[in-house]
Structure 1
Amino acid sequence: MSHLNSYLTAAGGVVAGVAAVAALLVWQRRIIRHQHRTLTARDRDRAHWYHLATHSDTTDLPNRRALLTHLEATFSLGEPLGLVLVDLDRFKLVNDIHGHEAGNDLLHEVGRRLATLGPPVALAVHLSGDEFALVVHGDHTDAATAAQAAHGRISASPYGVANQQITLTASVGYATAAPGMLPRDLLHAADQAMYLAKRTRGGAHPHDPIHDPPPGIVTRYRDLR
């Protein structure tokens, strides 16, 4: 009988030990799941705040900060690079007549059209207000192609906004990176070309480093508004 009691006691100890280990494993799994959920939530928060910092809240396109980051990275690779700047013509009238909410809807639709251009456009950006930019991975011909495509896409068909059909046109300037340029130089060159396109109403206008005035001579168009 004593042997039986000893056996039962030992067996009970084993069962208790197994139960304790099982409980510990369950607790550990709960901790791991909790930690995973916490990390996942943190990752989601980080991704959310990063998206807000690098994207326009009007169009959800990458913003100026994202553009500069992209340009700096591409410049460091030494690859052919072009930049297209787009300024919507008479956009202020849309806000004045239909209101800012309708204006934001229109900007969102313009951004959607530009974002679907495809290669050689590598990135469509909403800079601010009614200005957009396209980063082109390619040479002068590629930049010219992208600029013409953007100009045509924007005015291809009316926009349904505020129960109205609104027709838009845009002034487009483009430039390509040259040896010794920095990202800000490329931005300034494309901005000069866009200003000349706006002034001459000539559609898509290239930056001409030979005949165009040097940086600083032509006031940037955005500074005149």
Structure 2
Amino acid sequence: MCHLSSYLAAAGGVLAGLAVAAALLSRQRQVLHQQRQALAARDRDRSHWRRLATHNDTTGLPNRRALWTHLEATFSLGEPLGLVLIDLDRFKLVNDTYGHEHGNDLLHEVGRRLRALGPQVALAAHLAGDEFSLVVHGDDGEVEAAAEAAHGRISTLPYEIAGRQVVVTASVGYALAEPDMLPRDLLQAADQAMYLAKRKRCGIRAHDPDHATPPGVVVRYRDLR
């Protein structure tokens, strides 16, 4: 009987030890799970802030910073490159008539149409307000085709705004990267072409190197529009 009591006591001690070990293991698992959740949440937050830094929150398209980063990287490769700038015509009238919420819906739809242009467009970006851009990896014919496709997608298909079918047009300018250009030069050349397209109401305009801004002179043509 004494031996049985000893065995039972020993067994009870083992069971108690196992129960304590199981509780500790369960607690460790809970702590590890909480740590993993915290790390995952931190990674999501970081990804969210990184996206906010490089994307426009209205359209979800890459923003001006992302465009600049892409241009710098592409220029370093020395491959054929073109830039298309797009400005919606009379967008302020849309905002004034239908409200900013519907104006944002219009911008989102424009971004969707540009995003679906095709493989020749390496990057579609929303720079600010009603201004968009396309980076085209290709020769002059491919850049021109992308500019015409963008103009057609935006200007010929109506938009549904507040239950109405509304036609919105765009002014499009494009430029090709030249051997002696920097990214800012290409951006200014396309900006000049877009300014002329808007001023002359011709829809699409290519940059004319013979009428380029002199080297070292920086003109913000967007401020003239």
Q: Please confirm whether the aligned pair reaches a TM-score higher than 0.5, indicating the same fold.
A: yes
Write the letter of the residue equivalent to 2:171. S
Q: Could you tell me how far apart the structure 2 residues matched to 1:178 and 1:213 are?
A: 12
Task: Report if aligned partners of 1:192, 1:218 keep a CA contact under 8 Å in 2.
Answer: no
Q: Could you tell me how far apart the structure 1 residues matched to 2:73 and 2:26 are?
A: 47
Secondary structure at the residue paired with 1:214?
A: coil
Alignment of 1:175-214 (within 5 A): 175-209=175-209, 211-214=210-213
Report the alpha carbon displacement of residue 4 of structure 1 after superposing the two structures with TM. 3.0
Q: Could you tell me how far apart the structure 2 residues matched to 1:80 and 1:10 are?
A: 82
Task: Report if aligned partners of 1:143, 1:176 keep a CA contact under 8 Å in 2.
Answer: yes
Q: Which moved more, 1:76-85 or 1:117-126?
A: 76-85
Q: Which moved more, 1:128-137 or 1:15-24?
A: 15-24
Q: Which moved more, 1:9-18 or 1:156-165?
A: 9-18
Aligned pair in 2 of structure 1 residues 95, 112: CA closer, same or farther (>3 Å)? same
Q: Does 1:119 align with 2:119?
A: yes
Report the alpha carbon displacement of residue 138 of structure 1 after superposing the two structures with TM. 2.1
Q: Does 1:28 align with 2:14?
A: no
Report the alpha carbon displacement of residue 219 of structure 1 after superposing the two structures with TM. 4.6
Secondary structure at the residue paired with 2:84?
A: strand
Report the alpha carbon displacement of residue 87 of structure 1 after superposing the two structures with TM. 0.9
Report the alpha carbon displacement of residue 97 of structure 1 after superposing the two structures with TM. 2.8
Alignment of 1:64-75 (within 5 A): 64-75=64-75
Name the structure 2 match of 1:102.
Answer: 102
Write the letter of the residue equivalent to 1:212. H
Aligned pair in 2 of structure 1 residues 20, 187: CA closer, same or farther (>3 Å)? same
Report the alpha carbon displacement of residue 217 of structure 1 after superposing the two structures with TM. 6.8
Secondary structure at the residue paired with 2:211?
A: coil
Name the structure 1 match of 2:39.
Answer: 39
Report the alpha carbon displacement of residue 122 of structure 1 after superposing the two structures with TM. 1.7
Q: Could you tell me how far apart the structure 2 residues matched to 1:42 and 1:197 are?
A: 46
CA RMSD across the alignment: 2.1
Report the alpha carbon displacement of residue 150 of structure 1 after superposing the two structures with TM. 0.1
Secondary structure at the residue paired with 2:179?
A: coil
Q: Could you tell me how far apart the structure 2 residues matched to 1:59 and 1:135 are?
A: 17
Q: Could you tell me how far apart the structure 2 residues matched to 1:128 and 1:159 are?
A: 20
Report the alpha carbon displacement of residue 218 of structure 1 after superposing the two structures with TM. 8.8
Task: Report if aligned partners of 1:158, 1:167 keep a CA contact under 8 Å in 2.
Answer: yes
Task: Report if aligned partners of 2:189, 2:212 keep a CA contact under 8 Å in 1.
Answer: no
Structure 1 unaligned runs (5+)?
none
Name the structure 2 match of 1:89.
Answer: 89
Report the alpha carbon displacement of residue 188 of structure 1 after superposing the two structures with TM. 0.9
Summarize deviations over 1:124-171 as a string: whole Å, max 9, x none: 111111110011122222211111100111112111112322112211
Write the letter of the residue equivalent to 2:64. R
Name the structure 1 match of 2:50.
Answer: 50
Secondary structure at the residue paired with 1:77?
A: coil
Alignment of 1:131-210 (within 5 A): 131-209=131-209
Task: Report if aligned partners of 1:195, 1:220 keep a CA contact under 8 Å in 2.
Answer: no
Task: Report if aligned partners of 1:191, 1:221 keep a CA contact under 8 Å in 2.
Answer: yes
Structure 2 unaligned runs (5+)?
none
Report the alpha carbon displacement of residue 18 of structure 1 after superposing the two structures with TM. 2.1
Secondary structure at the residue paired with 2:25?
A: helix
Secondary structure at the residue paired with 1:149?
A: helix
Aligned pair in 2 of structure 1 residues 136, 13: CA closer, same or farther (>3 Å)? same
Task: Report if aligned partners of 1:83, 1:133 keep a CA contact under 8 Å in 2.
Answer: yes
